[in-house]
C-alpha cells in the first residue's frame, strides 16, 4: 500500500511539473507572439520602415528577428542577426558596466571626486562630482545641444576634447536632483579612459563586447563588422543620421542578436563573465531616488514597479532611430526593440506596456506605486497646489540655448486644475495615490517642495521645476510677434510720411493741416530727418530680427547654436540700440498726430521689452 501511495505521488508530481512547464512555454510563446504582432503592425502600417526585436527568457533566446527594410533602395531586409541599428542612449549602460569593471579591478572608487582621476588640464568643476553622481544623472549639469552631434565623420572630435570644449554649467548642486545629462555620461566615459589608459571604444570592445559574444556591437564611427540600417523619415523617405560627437552617450550600434546576449548576461545572477554577480547587481540597485515612493535610479538604468514587482528599462533615441530595452528579473526575461524611423513615444510605450502586462500582469490600479506609498506611511493626500508651468531640468538655463525649451518637445509641460478639482496634464487627469503622489501620463510622479520651489519627480531620470507663469510658451510667442508687428506698422507709417502718400482716414485731418501750411508732414524743418532715422531704426530691427531667427534655425539643425553666440548677441544689441534711439526720437517728436506718437512710443517700449526678453534668454 505504501509503495502504491508513493507511486501515485510521483505520478502527480510529474504531471504538475509537466503542466507547469507547458504553462510557462505557453506564456513565453504568447509574449513572443504579442510583441511580434505589435512590431509587425508598426512596420505594416508604415510607421516604421524597419525594426529588430529580441526576447530572452532564462538564458534562452525566444525571439530574434528583423521586420521591414534596413535599406529599401538596396532591397536589404532588416535582420536580427546581421543588421545593426543605432541604439542611442542604451549606449549609456555600457559606460556603467565599464565603470564597474574598473571598480572590480580596484582602480575606481564610485564616491571619489573624479578630479582625482582626470588630468590637471581638465578644468575644475564648480562642484566636486563622483562617478556615482555621473551615472545616476545627479551631477547637476544643465543640458547643452551644441557639439553633441555632427553630420560628417570628419567633424567628430576626440572625447578628451569634447568633454572640455562642450562642458555645460552646473545649475544644481550634485545629489540635489536628477537632471538627465548626456554630457555627464560622456564625462564618466572620459574618466574610464583616464583610469584605464585606453580609448573608451577599444576598452568596451576588449572588456565587454568580445567577452559577451557581441561581435557586431561597436562605438566606432567607421567600422566594417556589420551593416548598419539606413535612417528614415516618418513619410518613408531615406534621410541622413548625424554622428554623435560625445560618442559614449549614444553612438553605439548593435544587432538584436547581440542585445539578446547582453540581456541574458545582465539577467543571469550566476554569470561571472566581465563582472562578478555582486557588482553586476549594483547596476540595478537603487543608487539614488528623489523620493522613497519612487523606485529610483540604478547606474543609468530606470527602476520601475508594477504590481509590486520591479523591472528596469532604458530608452535610446537618436534623430531617426528609436530603441527600448526592458529587463524583468522576476521572470528572468528581457525585451529589446529598435526601429529605423522615429516613432511617437506612445507607440513604443504601448508595446512595452504590453510586454510588462504579459509578464507581471495588468496594472492593478497603480499597485506598485500605491504599495510604495503605503510602505512610506502616506495616504492619498494633496498638500500642494501643483498647477502651473514646469521646465525640464534637462534644459539650458545659462546659454542662448535656453530658447530650445520652446522648440524641443518634452522640455516643458503645463499642469492645470486645483487641489479641490484635481489636476491634469494635456487634459489627462492625475490620479492621487499617495501624499502628493500621482498616476499620470508620465507614469508615477511625485511633487516635492525643495527650498520653496516645487519639483516634479518622475520614475525615470527626468525632473521638472515649476517656473513663473509668464514663461509659458504662448507668452513667449506673443512678444516677438507683437514686436515684429509694431515695427512693421511703424516702418510703414514712416514710409507714408516720407513719400507723402495717403494711408487711411485716421491721419487725414493732420495732413489737411499740413497741406494748408503748404508742406507735407516730413517737409517741415527737422521732420524729414526724424522720419528717416525712425525708418532706419525699424529696418535695422527687422533685419536683425530676421537674422536672429535664421541663425537660431541654422544652429538648431546643425547642433551648433552656441557657435553663433557672438552674432546672436550682436543682433540683439542692434535691436536694443535701435529701440532706445527710436524711443528717444518718438518722445521728442512734436506733432498733432497723437495716434502716430502713440504708435512710435508703443514701438519703442515694445522694443525695450523685447530686449529684456532677449536678455532673459541670454542673448544680451
d(CA 232, CA 241): 9
> What is the per-residue pLDDT for 531?
76
Q: Is residue 606 within a helix (H) or strand (E), and if so which, with residue range?
A: helix 594-616
d(CA 532, CA 528): 6
Task: Answer yes or no: are the C-beta atoms of 133 and 100 closer than 8 Å.
Answer: no
Task: Answer yes or no: are the C-beta atoms of 379 and 164 closer than 8 Å.
Answer: no
> What is the per-residue pLDDT for 3?
56
> What is the per-residue pLDDT for 465?
96
Task: Answer yes or no: are the C-beta atoms of 446 and 437 closer than 8 Å.
Answer: yes
Q: pLDDT band at 528, cuts 50/70/90?
A: low
Q: pLDDT band at 9, cuts 50/70/90?
A: very low
327-374 tens-digit pLDDT = 999 999 999 999 999 888 888 999 999 999 999 998 775 444 445 444
Task: Identify the residue with better confidence: 219 or 505.
Answer: 219
Phi, psi of 13 (to 5 degrees): -65, -45
Least confident of 71-85, 416-430, 527-541: 527-541
Task: Answer yes or no: are the C-beta atoms of 581 and 461 closer than 8 Å.
Answer: no
First to last CA, the chain: 96
The grid coordinates of residue 563 equal 557657435
193-233 tens-digit pLDDT = 999 999 999 999 999 999 999 999 999 998 989 999 999 99
Phi, psi of 253 (to 5 degrees): -115, 150
> What is the per-residue pLDDT for 15?
44
> What is the per-residue pLDDT for 299?
97
Q: pLDDT band at 409, cuts 50/70/90?
A: confident
Provide long-range contacts, Cβ within 8 A and 24+ apart, for 110-114: 110/135, 114/187, 114/191
94-146 tens-digit pLDDT = 999 999 999 999 999 999 999 999 987 788 899 999 999 999 999 999 999 99
Q: pLDDT band at 500, cuts 50/70/90?
A: low
Sheet holding 60-71, edge to edge: 76-77, 60-71, 50-57, 333-339, 322-328, 309-317, 302-306
Given a cut of 50, is residue 68 above it in pLDDT? yes
* DSSP state, residue 142: P
Instruction: Quote the longest CA-to-CA distance of the chain.
Output: 133
Angle (nearest 5°) at CA 383 between 378 and 387:
125
> What is the per-residue pLDDT for 506?
40
* Contacting residues for 116 by C-beta, under 8 A, at least 6 apart: none
Q: What distances in angstroms separate CA 64 from CA 51, 58, 217, 283, 584, one per listed residue?
A: 11, 15, 16, 25, 72
* Contacting residues for 13 by C-beta, under 8 A, at least 6 apart: none
Residues above pLDDT 90, as percent of the chain: 71
Q: What distances in angstroms separate CA 588 from CA 242, 536, 584, 597, one per listed residue?
A: 54, 17, 6, 10
* Contacting residues for 547 by C-beta, under 8 A, at least 6 apart: 567, 571
d(CA 307, CA 107): 40
Angle between helices 565-588 and 527-557 (to 10 degrees): 160
> What is the per-residue pLDDT for 209?
97
The grid coordinates of residue 596 equal 502716430
Q: Where are the beta strands (DSSP E) in 354-399?
A: 388-392
286-311 tens-digit pLDDT = 999 999 999 999 999 999 999 999 99
Q: What is the pTM of this model?
A: 0.87
d(CA 28, CA 121): 54
> What is the per-residue pLDDT for 13?
46
> What is the per-residue pLDDT for 365?
52
The grid coordinates of residue 405 equal 525649451
**What's the whole-number average pLDDT of the chain?**
87
Amino acid at each position: 500500500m505504501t509503495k502504491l501511495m508513493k507511486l501515485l505521488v510521483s505520478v502527480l508530481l510529474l504531471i504538475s511539473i509537466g503542466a507547469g512547464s507547458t504553462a510557462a512555454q505557453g506564456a513565453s510563446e504568447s509574449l513572443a507572439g504579442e510583441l511580434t504582432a505589435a512590431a509587425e503592425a508598426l512596420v505594416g502600417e508604415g510607421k516604421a520602415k524597419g525594426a529588430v526585436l529580441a526576447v530572452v527568457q532564462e538564458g534562452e533566446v525566444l525571439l530574434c528577428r528583423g521586420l521591414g527594410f534596413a535599406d529599401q533602395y538596396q532591397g536589404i531586409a532588416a535582420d536580427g542577426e546581421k543588421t545593426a541599428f543605432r541604439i542611442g542612449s542604451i549606449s549609456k549602460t555600457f559606460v556603467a558596466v565599464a565603470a564597474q569593471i574598473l571598480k572590480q579591478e580596484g582602480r575606481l572608487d564610485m564616491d571619489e571626486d573624479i578630479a582625482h582621476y582626470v588630468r590637471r588640464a581638465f578644468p575644475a568643476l564648480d562642484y566636486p562630482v563622483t562617478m556615482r553622481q555621473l551615472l545616476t544623472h545627479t551631477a547637476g549639469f544643465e543640458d547643452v545641444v551644441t557639439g553633441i552631434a555632427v553630420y560628417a565623420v570628419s567633424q567628430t572630435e576626440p572625447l578628451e576634447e569634447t568633454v572640455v570644449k562642450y562642458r555645460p554649467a552646473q545649475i544644481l548642486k550634485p545629489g540635489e536632483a536628477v537632471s538627465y545629462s548626456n554630457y555627464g555620461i560622456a564625462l564618466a566615459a572620459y574618466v574610464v579612459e583616464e583610469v584605464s589608459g585606453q580609448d573608451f571604444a577599444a576598452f568596451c570592445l576588449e572588456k565587454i563586447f568580445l567577452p559577451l559574444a557581441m561581435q557586431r556591437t561597436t562605438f566606432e564611427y567607421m567600422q566594417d563588422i556589420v551593416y548598419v540600417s539606413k535612417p528614415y523619415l516618418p513619410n518613408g523617405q531615406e534621410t541622413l543620421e548625424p554622428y554623435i560627437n560625445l560618442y559614449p552617450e549614444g553612438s553605439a550600434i548593435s544587432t538584436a542578436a547581440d542585445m539578446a546576449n547582453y540581456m541574458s548576461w545582465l539577467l543571469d545572477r550566476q554569470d561571472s563573465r566581465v563582472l562578478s554577480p555582486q557588482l553586476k547587481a549594483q547596476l540595478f540597485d537603487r543608487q539614488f531616488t528623489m523620493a522613497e515612493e519612487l523606485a529610483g535610479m540604478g547606474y543609468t538604468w530606470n527602476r520601475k514597479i508594477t504590481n509590486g514587482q520591479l523591472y528596469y528599462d532604458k530608452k535610446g533615441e537618436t534623430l531617426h532611430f528609436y530603441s527600448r530595452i526592458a529587463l524583468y528579473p522576476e521572470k528572468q526575461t528581457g525585451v529589446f526593440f529598435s526601429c529605423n524611423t522615429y516613432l511617437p513615444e506612445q507607440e513604443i510605450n504601448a508595446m512595452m506596456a504590453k510586454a510588462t502586462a504579459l509578464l507581471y500582469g495588468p496594472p492593478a490600479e497603480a499597485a506598485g506605486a500605491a504599495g510604495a506609498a503605503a510602505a512610506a506611511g502616506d495616504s492619498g493626500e494633496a498638500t500642494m497646489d501643483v498647477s502651473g508651468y514646469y521646465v525640464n531640468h534637462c534644459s539650458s538655463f545659462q546659454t542662448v540655448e535656453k530658447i530650445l525649451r520652446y522648440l524641443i518637445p518634452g522640455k516643458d509641460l503645463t499642469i492645470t486644475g486645483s487641489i479641490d478639482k484635481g489636476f491634469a496634464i494635456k487634459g489627462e487627469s492625475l490620479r492621487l495615490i499617495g501624499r502628493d503622489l500621482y498616476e499620470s501620463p508620465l507614469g508615477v510622479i511625485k511633487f516635492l517642495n525643495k527650498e520653496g520651489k516645487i519639483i516634479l519627480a518622475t520614475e525615470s531620470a527626468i525632473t521638472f521645476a515649476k517656473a513663473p507663469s509668464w514663461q509659458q510658451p504662448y507668452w513667449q510667442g506673443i512678444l516677438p510677434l507683437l514686436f515684429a508687428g509694431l515695427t512693421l506698422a511703424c516702418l510703414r507709417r514712416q514710409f507714408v510720411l516720407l513719400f507723402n502718400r495717403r494711408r487711411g482716414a485716421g491721419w487725414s485731418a493732420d495732413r489737411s493741416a499740413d497741406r494748408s501750411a503748404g508742406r507735407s508732414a516730413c517737409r517741415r524743418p527737422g521732420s524729414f530727418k526724424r522720419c528717416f532715422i525712425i525708418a532706419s531704426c525699424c529696418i535695422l530691427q527687422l533685419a536683425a530680427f530676421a537674422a536672429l531667427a535664421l541663425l537660431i534655425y541654422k544652429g538648431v539643425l546643425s547642433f551648433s547654436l552656441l557657435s553663433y553666440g557672438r552674432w546672436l548677441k550682436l543682433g540683439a544689441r542692434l535691436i536694443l540700440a535701435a529701440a532706445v534711439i527710436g524711443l528717444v526720437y518718438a518722445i521728442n517728436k512734436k506733432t498733432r498726430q497723437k495716434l502716430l506718437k502713440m504708435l512710435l512710443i508703443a514701438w519703442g517700449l515694445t522694443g525695450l521689452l523685447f530686449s529684456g526678453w532677449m536678455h532673459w534668454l541670454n542673448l544680451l
